[in-house]
Amino acid sequence: MKPPHLFLIAGEPSGDLLGAALIAGLRELCGPCLRLEGVGGPAMAALGFESRFPMEELSVMGLSEVLPRLPNLLRRIRETAEAVIAARPDALVTIDSPDFCLRVARRARKALPDLRVIHYVAPSVWAWRPGRATKMARTVDHVLALLPFEPPYMRAAGMTCDFVGHPVVETPRVPLSGTIALREELGIAPGQQVLLVLPGSRMGEVTRLSPVFAEVIARLTASHPDLAIVVPAAGPVAARVAAAFPRTAAGWPRILDPTGLSVAEADARKRAAFAMADAALAASGTVSLELAAQGAPMVIAYAANALTSTVVRRMVRIDTVTLVNLVTETRAVPEFLLGDCRAELIAPAVAQLLDDPVAAEAQRDAAERAMVLLGRGGEAPGLRAARSVLSAVATRPRALDP
């Protein structure tokens, strides 16, 4: 069978990584004659994919960032849709970034009503705004889901959907030698307990959570004087994190600043820190899965401004936001969100993980179950995604070729 012609769009770094894994899977199944074009980032470019313009133009967040660049974003939406229409691909594959990708898809679909549209990463309608799936179904035919419980929601809205696995399952586990090396570098003695503190990767998160997390540290060091505290910092907020957590006389916490390291070096160091943690205190987000992949017991916390807190309470449809809990259908990971994000509540939960081996091991068991349910031990997510794309393309006649 002739390899399909696909137009791919990724609009942010996480989507670029998914796109690269998808491309690798497609090439494994289809061979070198596969026709690909569209928009992507450096991970996709490393596999020979030529982006029509730098993906970084689309990687903006927040009103203050978007407004000055809105004319360029609107122009890129129009240009990309025109490129899809001119290419007449067998399918348009949009990867996350729904604000950009689905606008392109809608424009292209108006000109090409038979265009097959596949979206990679299901919207989290199980958590909030369930109407998004129905709205998306007007444009999207098929969805690739990262989470095993998402396909029924997509199918109920009128789309086909396959669970293809979460990329976190391909995160390599850090060997004992890696954690020993980092402990030696940081001056952590054998047997000394390690608390990992992760106040977020965005300035707003760090600003809101750092005072609470700093108070948690103060409470824990009072009861656990030998506790080693390590704070991995994302590059853009490293200076803010360092200022928010001043060192004690004993030199804790140690800030793992990625400045000067390559992406691969910074990632390896972060994973080693996750693997050596006896307990972690982290902002809510995908970092919980990264911690789970390395078997780190954790407590999750999150704070927001008053307006956001009010809106979230009214819109959220679930009683837990941590993916380990959602995937395993347990409440193994303690959460302290919004009004409950207070040091006097959080510190005892972290202390329990440090003091109670049974509680810590129960979390490790839940984390391992989550990884298996997300695809660990099975076919690589990128290859599963490629099979799903090819199957979706095959269900519609190749009627778009000129």
Angle at the Cα of 201 from the Cα atoms of 200 and 206, rounded to 5 degrees:
50
Q: Which two tokens stand for residue 323?
A: 């993916």
Contact 21, 385 (CB under 8 A): yes
Q: In this predicted structure, what is the pLDDT of residue 401?
A: 40
Report pTM: 0.86
- Cα 46 → chain centroid: 21
Q: In this predicted structure, what is the pLDDT of residue 64?
A: 43
* Nearest-angstrom CA–CA distance, 251 and 299: 24
Q: In this predicted structure, what is the pLDDT of residue 310?
A: 52
Q: In this predicted structure, what is the pLDDT of residue 399?
A: 40
**5-165+377-394, CATH topology level:** Rossmann fold (3.40.50)
Q: Which residues of the chain fall short of a pLDDT of 70?
A: 1, 59-69, 126-130, 304-318, 396-402
Contact 127, 344 (CB under 8 A): no
How many beta carbons lie within 10 A of that of residue 277, not counting itself? 27
5-165+377-394 and 176-373 agree in CATH topology: yes
Tokens 């799903």 belong to which residue? Answer: 388
**176-373, CATH topology level:** Rossmann fold (3.40.50)
Contact 279, 299 (CB under 8 A): yes
Q: Which residue, 364, 212, 217, is CA-closest to 278?
A: 364
Domain boundaries, the chain: 5-165+377-394, 176-373
Q: In this predicted structure, what is the pLDDT of residue 374?
A: 96
Tokens 């916390």 belong to which residue? Answer: 301
Q: In this predicted structure, what is the pLDDT of residue 313?
A: 55
Q: In this predicted structure, what is the pLDDT of residue 55?
A: 84
Residue-wise DSSP of 57-80: GT---SHHHHHHHHHHHHHHHHHH
